Amino acid sequence: MTVTLDCLRKQNAETSNAIISHFASHPSFLRLSDAEGLQIRQRDKEDSEKLQKGIDLALEKGVLSKDFVPEPYIKVDVLGKSAEDVANEILDHVAAHLGSSKVIVLVGLSGTGKGTTVAMLRKKLEGGGPIVTWSNGNIFRSLTLLAATWCEHNCDSKIFDINKALTKDNLATFVEMLSFGKFKGDVYDTRINGLGLDLYVSEVANTELKAPKVAKNIPTVAEVTQGEVISFAAGAIKILGENGITVLLEGREETVNYVETKNRFCLTLSDESLIGKRRAAQRMMASALNSIEGKNDESNADVVKALGTSLEIMVNEITS
């Protein structure tokens, strides 16, 4: 399959599939794909280990129940399927087997298309009622803002002190300062109310919650608040689902297991080598387009040459 300029400009799954097809037996492409796949698997493993440490800490503190058993996941093999195919399979299963539950959870290894599938699900569900794509990010930021504010009130020179701010009792107090429900204009939102703050996440998501004192301390806070955030999110999502709002949630099993729903799907690839090939193709198509952008007279051969040049540069980077 030849990659045309029009195809390259799409920068989507069609582009990556065309690149994978064209370079299927190219030694350099296979080498780059293997390297990308290994990197993704290693990062997934490291992330899972870090998340599990946070879960174990939450279980030890009693923030999460040791007796909780999540509903099983329904596996969806995405091999050879478009995002629309995968979304249709999920929605067909929901309609046929799982009744009117409004919460859909998606997990899977990096590269299996969770984000793309969520976007397609949202597109297909539009017009059928309100939809929320839930993210835990702003809850982590809210707790970080409270911890930083506490330090401003209680620490010498107002410096963020991990040992003083992130005690078990303090974290429990910070969580109590967060509430989820209907507020201004009868709209669902998360309220931050304590330590002199009275804010709504929807209003400060791009201001206070992205301020330097929050941004630089999120990793530290996230390490010890996995359980608190998971518990808060599970409660908020339950409220949304029970009130007729469709909730789409994608993430890692460690963090979404505690969300109550039977609509749980795990995206898999029966040919896991495609994970590395997709990432390699994505890198190549972005680099190649950047090198020929602004030109309208490039032939198919020129496009393939640009892709080949980008490929060789990337392979040289991993071997140097």
Q: What amino acid occupies position 186?
A: D
What SS3 class is residue 315? helix
Mean of all residue pLDDT scores within the chain = 90
Question: Are 276 and 312 contained in the same domain?
Answer: yes
- Is 144 part of any domain? yes
Question: Are 146 and 235 contained in the same domain?
Answer: yes
Whether the CB-CB separation of 17 and 83 falls below 8 Å is answered with no
Query: How far is it, in rounded angstroms, from Cα 197 to Cα 150?
Result: 11
Range of the domain at 218: 134-243
> For residue range 10-65, what is the model confidence (pLDDT) as tens digits?
998 889 999 999 999 999 999 999 999 999 999 888 888 888 888 998 899 888 88
- Is 68 part of any domain? no
> For residue range 99-122, what is the model confidence (pLDDT) as tens digits?
656 899 999 988 888 988 999 999
Quick check: 179 pLDDT over 90? yes
- Is 207 part of any domain? yes
Question: Are 149 and 225 contained in the same domain?
Answer: yes
Question: Are 205 and 142 contained in the same domain?
Answer: yes
- Is 305 part of any domain? yes
Two structure tokens written together for 139: 């809850």
Q: Count structural domains, the chain.
A: 2
Question: Are 176 and 225 contained in the same domain?
Answer: yes
- Is 229 part of any domain? yes
Quick check: 132 pLDDT over 70? yes
Query: How far is it, in rounded angstroms, from Cα 36 to Cα 281?
Result: 10
Question: Are 206 and 157 contained in the same domain?
Answer: yes
- Is 66 part of any domain? no
- Is 116 part of any domain? no
CA distances from 84 to 91, 116, 276 (A): 10, 9, 22
Quick check: 228 pLDDT over 90? yes
Quick check: 1 pLDDT over 70? no
Exposure letters 35-55 (e unless 16+ CB within 10 A, then b): bbbeebbeebeeeeeebeebb
Instruction: Report which of 243, 47, 217, 87 is spatially closest to residue 145, judged by C-alpha positions.
Output: 217
Question: Are 192 and 142 contained in the same domain?
Answer: yes
Question: Are 287 and 193 contained in the same domain?
Answer: no
Q: Is 157 left (phi over 0), alpha (psi -120 to 50) or beta?
A: left
Question: Are 214 and 151 contained in the same domain?
Answer: yes
- Is 108 part of any domain? no
pTM (2 d.p.): 0.79
Least confident of 252-261, 272-281, 293-302: 293-302
